[in-house]
Structures are given as structure tokens and as C-alpha cells.
Amino acid sequence: MSSHSNPSTAATPLDLSKWRSLPTRLMLVGGILSLIGLLVPSYREQFSFSWLVSFMFFLSLCLGGWFMVLVHHLFDASWSVPIRRVTENLACQVRWMAVLFVPIALFAPRMYPWMELSANHTPDHALHAKGALLNIPTFYLASIFCFAVWWYYTTKLRFWSLEQDRTGSAECTNRMRMLAYFGVFAFAITLTLGVILWMKSLQHQWFSTMYGVYYFAGSVWLTIATVYVITLVLKRQGPLREVVQETQFYFLGSLLFAFTVFYAYIHFSQYFIIWNANIPEETFWYVLREKGSWWQIGLLIVFGHFFLPFLTLLRIDVKLSWLMIPLGVWAWLMHYVDLQFNIMPILHPDGFVLHWLDIGSFAFMAGFMARNFMKDFAAYPAYPQKDPRFAESMGVYVAPASKTPAAKVAGGAR
Amino acid sequence: MSEVAIPPTLKIQAPPAELEREPLVLNERPPGWISDRITSVVEGKAPRWWWIGLSISVPLMVMLFCVLAYLISTGVGIYGNNQPIMWGWPIVNFVWWIGIGHAGTLISAILFLLRQKWRTAVNRAAEAMTIFAVMCAGIFPLIHIGRAWLGWWLFPIPNANSIWPQFRSPLMWDVFAVSTYFTVSLLFWYVGLVPDLAVMRDRSKTKIRKFLYGLFALGWTGSNRHWSNYEKAYLILAGLSTPLVLSVHSIVSLDFAVSQLPGWHTTIFPPYFVAGAVFSGFGMVLTLLIPLRRLCNLEEVITVRHIELMCKVTLAVGSIVGYAYGMEVFIAWYSGSPYEKFAFWNRAFGPYWWGYWTMIICNVVVPQFFWSKKVRTNMLVVWVLSIFVNIGMWFERFEIVITSLSREFLPSNWGYFIPTIWDILTFLGTFGLFFTLFLLFLRFLPMIAISEVKGVTPQADPHHPLGGAKPGGHH
């Protein structure tokens, strides 16, 4: 393993002072570009679609973080204790996603063709069939519902986690578990609802039972890669130096590998079943994405989203090596390309176009989210201080409280 | 795990008593006790319950062979399959048994790769269950092809009668998926058995036992080199088995999903089938192991914690299955396709409504009881609920196959499926085959991986007070 495996031999912290202002600069540059897109009427359509792609990208990170917290509590995991504050803070950024949703809410009538059809009462069988869901009031109410649910669960989970830092009480663990029990259902329902309303309904005629799972798989994949890189940086810089071991990186790497395969499996299954049945009501979605340079983008997803990370992560030692950093960056690129592939063919049916507004909106949101994440991270302890599984996650044996009232560390490491 | 130096600034406390984990082997039992207790099932006198079980399962198995003989000599017309339901019980039973055959390799391979130590107490029996379930499953497509003696035509044997299999048919993919899965699962099971077969050889008191266990133990001595090679082989087979676990039921799902039939053609089928398979597999593992841990006096090795963890997995995959059911119904509505809408309306309120609601209650409602720790720790309740899971998963396959075929696009082509006595006897007979093989396994092979369990005892941790390391000493 590389130098980050052992705190005693960990490399010295990097000088990141130059990078400290990067989020603000990204926000500033991205904000100006986005503002131009917002204000100049001829760019408004491009702006709204570029914004949607970036919005769905960062929403992936928040929901992925929430999912990792939920799974941690549901399975009473120990290995993920030292990184839980990272995922909790990532999940809590979802409250800002509600703010970032405002431009989408404003421009929705321009982006979603069904809204125009609905407003004009144009006869449309697909819309007629989906009318109970795809109508303007429901769109906004469902969006508010999703954000409310996300805000409630992510805030509450972090609240009890921080409370346990103070009290060390088992009650906090029980509360978090209870939130996870109901939260996992809320997660499945709201993620599916959100992705149907905001992405799938861009082509409201199309349907696929897999679509919610598809977005979920890509989102968790991206989140794991991101959490790996963040954890690595935080270990090197100090906040997680004492608590993150090789185990955490190994498991994150293994999960990234698993979700690399899972995403490919889900995407392939959806494509293959639609292709093989060859029903026009379904195939038109992929036909559009095989036109012009979208075909090459599709191939890039096949090779870049699956084969490259799959072959790279096959080796055990890669999961613990410096290669994980470029792979993390690659995961960001691939997930962004994947979202472009899903959203942008509506606006650019002839092929992939990387517009400056794509870069602008992405830069703004990246800066905005990074700033808020860092602010949150600085405000609270870097890892759960008194989690009951802390000893287990560190690989130390502690005599059970039931056997020795004055519990103490009985030995060194395994 | 790497060596960890705990900085003095870090305060690590024991978990509160109510959140302590139960050890994987109770009462700090020594290694010798573990060997004695597990091998006692094989070495001792066959208990009465074993003979009672065998006296039920063997006649059922014999009945299966008789039914199969009658079927082969007469033809598949003895079954209830008829236009429009040409896929009747045989395919339902095939998918059900194949699903059950998913838990073993999942426990052995995926949980091994995820370093889940609790798997050690249950993996051996679950793998055996997998192999026997796949054998039961394999019978159905073979007899359903009509001329079972020509089953070898399914394999791509060059130039045999100038016949080449139809590779575009998902049923052909099944042949390769299931046979590969069976082969690798068998190998995986056998490799895991080798150290324990050597234990059995060394403990044998009769020459014939010593010879046979010795033969299959492949000269195992327990040397470092043997262990090193064993660990490598086991890891490679775990890596190979993992995609196979997922691929088999995905391919089975494609039997349906690649068609255009309402209720079958849906993109979520592959992960939904895999989740369903794991769900039913864990259901059957619970059904088998809960009584066995009691009957074989293995409650200290297959602990309540093991059962609880399996309940949690069952709940997780059961909830995924519930999500898939919900998505199917939602997209049937969302698609705007009248055929899709009708297919699901027909499932819930058509002539097979009883099957649909049995499925929903058993697969969606019942697993939700596992949220409660009280339920998870009550062995009788878990056992009863696991049987509901088995029943529910059979009805799921029944609903998918029968309802979609019975009322497809043309009302003039609608029908109603009624199984014949031969359908029922064949299905019952496979239980005979399954339980006969399982009971024989219990008597002749150690049902728990002895060497693996020893490695997960609390005292196997060198820092445990009963472990080898001295306080503050080198580790």
C-alpha cells in the first residue's frame, strides 16, 4: 500500500493554500458565465439544459452520500465509521440543491415539451395517459416534496450523529437506525420520482422500469469515487490522519469496483432488452442517441464508464494506490458524459456539443458545493467521535462494556 | 488488515452494552470442541429425525423418477401445458429452484470478497443447497423439450447431425449460464471442503472411510504451502463465481424480458430477478438451518446473530423486489400502453388474483417483519416467515409465467391453466430429490466449514484475553 496506509508513515501534508480560493473563483467565473446565459434570451435554452445536467450531477453526489449513510446504519457497519462524517456532510448539501433547482423550476416550461402541450391542451396520447403525474402543479409539488424529504432525513441523520459525539449514547445510534429504516424507502421513492420528473420526462413518451436504478447506480458510483479522493486528501492533510486505515480505502475501492460493474449491468440490461424487443415506443430514445456524435459518446460510456475502471480496479493493489486519484477524476468526467448523453440529445439531436454554458454552470455548482461542503466540514468534528463501532473500525480489541465496567483498550492492533 | 498504531490522543471506548456484538462462536469454545461438535453429525449414529426425513424424501424421489419415466415414455402432453399457456409449471418450477440455488454461492463468494466473517457458519450448507437446487432446476427444461433423449442437441457439438443450436434464443443462453454456474459452484464447494475432508480422514475409524475421505482430501496435510495454494484457489473461484451468481438469473429473466409480451417485457427484470433469487435462496437457507442448528446441537456455531444477519439480507433483497413490483405497476400505467395496463390489472384482479396477492403478502409484507429485532431473534417466527418467502417466490414465478400467457393480446386466444396431477407429482418429487441429497450431505460431509469457523472465534483474535498476544507485547 502507498504511504497513506499507516498514520505513522503518512506523508507530510500538502501545501493547499493556493487552492483554498479555488471554489470561490470557480463560483465567480461560473456564475458570470451562467448569468450571461440566464440574461441573454438566445442562450436561455442552452443555459437551462446545461444547468440541468450540472444539477443532476451534483444531486448524484448528495443522494449518493445519503445512500452511503443509510447503508452504514442499516447494516450496522463498522468499517465506514471514520468516513461517515464525510458522507453525512455530502448528503447535507442537498439543501443547497433546492436553491439550485430554482432556475430549473423557472425554465421548466421551455425544457419539458409536455408542459407546453399541457398548457395548450394539445391532444397527446402519452401525456393524456400520464396526466396524473405529468401536470404542472404536480411537477412543482413533487419537486418540493422530494427536497423536503431529503432535507429532513439528511439533517436529522447528521444531527443525531453530532449528538452522539457529545453524549456517546446508544440512543443516538438507535435514532439513526430508525431514520435509516424509513429513510431507505424514502430514498428509493424520491430518487425515482425526481429522476422521472426531471430527466425522463424530457421525452415524456418514453418509459423504462430501470431508469431510477440507472441513475442510482451512476450516482453511487460517482459518490464512492469522490469519497475516496476526499478521504485521501483529509487523511494526508490531517483531519482523518489518525482514524482512516487501509481498510477504509480497500472497501471504498471494492465498492467502486462493484458499482462499476453494477452500473454497466444496469445500463446494458436496459439497452439490450429494448434493442431486442424492438418496440418503437421504446427504441426511439436510443435511436436519438445513436445519431451524429452521440454514437461516439455512447461508445465512450461503454469503454470509459465500464471497461477502463473495470480493468483498472481488477487488481487488489490498485484499490490502495495513487491510481485511485486519476480514477476519481475520470469518474467525474464519465458521470458528466453519461448525464449529457441522457439530457442533451433533446437540445442537440445531431451530436454532442460542449457549450461554454456547460462549463460555466458546472464550474459554478462545483465551486458552490465545494465551499459549502468545506464550511460544513470545518464546523463539526471530522469523524464520529464516540461511535459504538469505532474500536471495530480501527481494528482494535476493546473489552466489552458488559464484562469490564471500566472499559479500556486491551491491546494494540490486529 | 494492516498493522495499526493507535495514537495516544485517540480515546477508544467499548460500545454500550446494548450495542455489543454477539461473538460468532458462543461461549469461547476451543478449536477441539468445534471439530468435535461439527463432525459429530457425521461420525455419530444417525439420529431418528434423519431417518424420518429420509423415509419421506426417498419415496418422493422414487416417485419423481417414476413420473419422469412416464413422461418420457408418453410425452409432455401429460402436463397441463396447452395453448396459450405452453410454458406452465415446468418453467415456473425451473425458475423457482434456480432462484433457490442463488444463496449458496452468494454467501460463499460475494460475502467472502466482502470479508463478511459470519458467512463461515452457513456457507457450506448453503452451497450444498445451491448445488442440489440447481440439479432439481435442471430437470425441468430438460423434460420440457419433449424428447429428453435429444437434450444433447442443445450443446454446440460441431457437425452433429448438421444441427447447430439457435444462439439467438435466451433458452440457449440458459443452458450455458446454468451449466457454467453449476460447474463452478460444485468446484467452489469442493475446494472449500478439502481441508475439512482431511479432518474427516484423520478422524476416521474405519478403513473405507479413511480411504474415501483421504482420496477426496487430495493429500492435504495442512502445510503452509497447501494453505497458500488453497487460499489462492478459493479467492479465484470466489471471483469467478460472483459474476456467475448475477448472470444466471439475469439470463433467466431475459427468457421473458426480450419478448414483447405484456408483463414480461420490462427493463428492470434482470436486477429484479437476481434480487428475487437471492431473496428466495436466503428464505430456503433459513428454512433449512433453523431446525438443523437445533437438531444437530450447533446453536453455538450457527448463532442467533447469524440468523439475524440472514434476516437482514432477506429484508434488503425483499424490499428491492417490492420496489421492482411497484415500478412494474407504475410503468405499466406510465407507459400508456393499454396492454401493459391490462396485464397488471389482470394479475391483481383477474382469474389469478389469489396468486398475485399471495405473492404480494409473502414477498413484500412478510419480510417487513424482519425490521423488528424481536422477530429476528425468535427462531420459530423466522422459520415460519421463511416458509412464506419460499411460497411467495413460487407464486411470483407462477404469476409472471401463467397470467401473462393466459391473457395476451388476442382475447380469442385467452385460456386458463390447470395443472394436472403429473405437474404436481413432478414438483413434489423434486422436493424428494432435494431433501434426499441434502440429508445424505448432512451425514457424510461436515455441514459447517470447520477450519473457517475456527478462524472467526473471538479467541482467534491475538489480542483477545484468550488469544496468543501478551498485553502491550508484539503483535
pLDDT per position as a tens digit, B136-192: 999 999 888 888 888 888 887 776 677 778 888 888 899 999 999 999 999 999 999
Contact residues on chain A for B2, CB-CB shorter than 8 A: 1, 5-6, 245-247
The structural domains of chain B, with segments of one domain joined by +, span: 34-157+181-455
pLDDT at B455: 86
| pLDDT given for residue A286 in this prediction | 96
Q: How many domains does chain A have?
A: 1
Residue B113 has a pLDDT of 84
Distance from the B21 Cα atom to the nearest Cα atom in chain A, whole angstroms: 9
**Chain A positions in Cβ-Cβ contact with residue B258 (cut-off 8 Å):** 272-273, 276-277
Residue A10 forms part of a structural domain: no
Spatial contact of B397 and B92, defined as CB atoms under 8 Å apart: yes
Percent of chain B with pLDDT over 90: 68
- Give the pLDDT confidence of A267-302 residue by residue, as tens digits: 999 999 999 999 999 999 999 999 999 999 999 999
- Kindly state whether B409 is in contact with chain A, defined as any CB-CB distance less than 8 angstroms: no
A-facing residues of B in 413-442 (CB < 8 A) are none
* pLDDT confidence of residue A209: 95
Q: May I ask the CATH architecture of the domain B34-157+181-455?
A: Up-down Bundle (1.20)
Stated pTM of the model: 0.91
Cβ of A74 within 8 Å of Cβ of B312? The answer is: yes
- Residue A404: the pLDDT is 54
Residues from chain A contacting residue B20 (CB–CB below 8 Å): 400-402
Distance from CA of A188 to the nearest CA of B (A): 8
Is residue A264 assigned to a domain? Answer: yes
For residue A238, is pLDDT > 90? no
Residue A323, domain extent: 19-413
Contact: B475, A411; criterion CB under 8 Å: yes
Q: In chain A, which residues have their Cβ closer than 8 Å to the Cβ of B274?
A: none
Compare all CA atoms of chain B with the CA of A315 and give the residue at the minimum distance: B239
**What is the rounded CA–CA span in Å between residue A305 and residue A315?**
17
| Nearest residue in B to A388, CA atom | B15
B99-138 residue pLDDT tens: 998 877 887 788 888 888 888 889 999 999 999 999 999 9
Mean pLDDT of B67-74: 94
Determine whether the interchain pair A391/B324 forms a contact, defined as Cβ–Cβ distance below 8 Å: no
Q: Above 70 in pLDDT, residue B66? A: yes
A347-390: per-residue pLDDT in tens? 999 999 999 999 999 999 999 999 999 999 999 999 998 899 98
Q: What is the pLDDT of residues A309-354, one digit of tens each?
A: 999 999 889 999 999 999 999 999 999 999 999 999 999 999 999 9
pLDDT digits (tens, 9 = 90+) for A61-119: 999 999 999 999 998 999 999 999 999 999 999 999 999 999 999 999 999 999 998 88
**Nearest CB to A276 within list B258, B333, B463:** B258
Residue B461 banded pLDDT, cuts 50, 70, 90: confident
Mean pLDDT to the nearest integer, B209-230: 94
The answer to whether residue A6 is domain-embedded is no
pLDDT beyond 80 at B467:
no
| Model ipTM value | 0.90
Mean pLDDT rounded to a whole number for chain A = 91
pLDDT of residue A414: 34
The pLDDT value given to residue A150: 97
- Select the residue from B334, B372, B376 to test the A interface by mutation, using most A Cβ atoms within 10 A: B334
